Amino acid sequence: MPRPPATLSAEPGATDRETEQDPADSRVPTVVSDASNTPVRGGGPRASGGPRRPVGSGAGRGGGRLPVLAARVRMPLMWAATLLLLAAYAGVPWWAGTGLLVAALAVYLRLGTVRREPRAVLPPVRGRWMALTSPVDGTPSQGSHAYGQTYALGLVAEPGGGARPDIAWRPLSRPPEDFPAFGRAVYAPADGTVVTAHDGRRDHRSRNSWPWLFGAVVENALRELRGPSGMLGNHLVIDVGGGDHLLLGHLARGSLAVGRGDRVRAGQVVARCGNSGACTEPQVRVQLMDHRRPLFAAGLPIVWAPGWNGRGDGAGLPETWRPVVVEGPGVEEVPAGQESGGDDYAGEVRRTSRNR
């Protein structure tokens, strides 16, 4: 029997209910996926000519047990291998650390990637934004499977007209207030319950100059010593039901409008965009995981529900480095001067050679 479509509203721990889609209700979308389960533009036939498939939810359905189990031990294995290699200076046989590192790399690079239909959610931002990283152009989208990032999106505000400082040699860094994304509202992508609300990380200056970009490699390695919070900065984790958890990261310090245990509704303002954690400039990180703790989570694919760009193009995600106007299904709030009637990129999702 076919799996029922996922809805944006779900009680934590509840099972999916079979629902017929109302044409006037974009909150129960049907999504088209390609063979690799990477989100593509909805509303048309699959490239392979196969039938349309509904969105599922839950890491186990369509994902398999092995990828989930591998994702659970991915980072603990890497840390253990690193410690064993360092212990070689204290007399521990070098082959012990080397062997464990090889095994850890095999798990990290080849296993632990869940393949399933994407879950439909609302976009976490409104207005004209651009994806610095997107699973549309390949996975892992952030260049790393760690901490549930396999299908993560990194979004920056791009209102146009040079409002967003670009990468340059000088100045070396800028205050976060120089970027249009800083302080912008972040919306809950789905109904659910907040299970993690991490605040307190400062909003650092930008790292979008060439010298800082090179130095950020070392800086991020030091940040990782703090664990996931060092990389994700201030963040929220929302239990959206079916075993799925949405993470919103790099939030502004002191901006969290909800706390642990609070119920949130899709489209509700829950925080503000910040520049905390391992990011080069103020941005919003959104990712779906199968566990509340990023350290042990497998990343899961997501797609934005039909109507996300106000054009009725079906479900999809923004392509990297292509500014799009994001409205969100049934949401009319678009910041002034960023209406969707202009000549912006239409927001269609194209497949690249890496996704075919």
Q: At what angle do helices 94-110 and 65-87 cross, to 10 degrees?
A: 150
Q: Is the pLDDT of residue 11 over 90?
A: no
By DSSP bridging, strand 127-133 and strand 153-157 are antiparallel
- What is the mean pLDDT of the segment spanning 141-162? 89
pTM above 0.85, yes or no: no
Q: What is the percent of the chain with per-residue pLDDT over 90, rounded to a whole number?
A: 42
- Residues 262 and 193: their CA atoms lie apart, in Å, by 6
> Which pLDDT band, with edges at 50, 70 and 90, does 79 fall under?
confident
| DSSP class of 29 | -
Q: Is the pLDDT of residue 58 over 90?
A: no
Per-residue confidence (pLDDT) for residue 255, from 0 to 100: 97
Spatial contact of 271 and 236, defined as CB atoms under 8 Å apart = yes
The dihedral built from the CA positions of residue 154, 160, 161 and 163, taken in this order, carries a sign that is negative
Summarised one tens digit per residue, pLDDT across range 271-310 is 999 999 999 999 999 999 999 999 899 999 999 999 898 7
51 preceded by a cis bond (ω within 30 of 0): no
Per-residue confidence (pLDDT) for residue 113, from 0 to 100: 83
> Which pLDDT band, with edges at 50, 70 and 90, does 316 fall under?
very high
Summarised one tens digit per residue, pLDDT across range 321-340 is 999 999 876 544 434 333 33
Three-state DSSP class for 245?
A: strand
Per-residue confidence (pLDDT) for residue 211, from 0 to 100: 83
Summarised one tens digit per residue, pLDDT across range 207-236 is 888 888 787 777 777 777 777 888 899 999
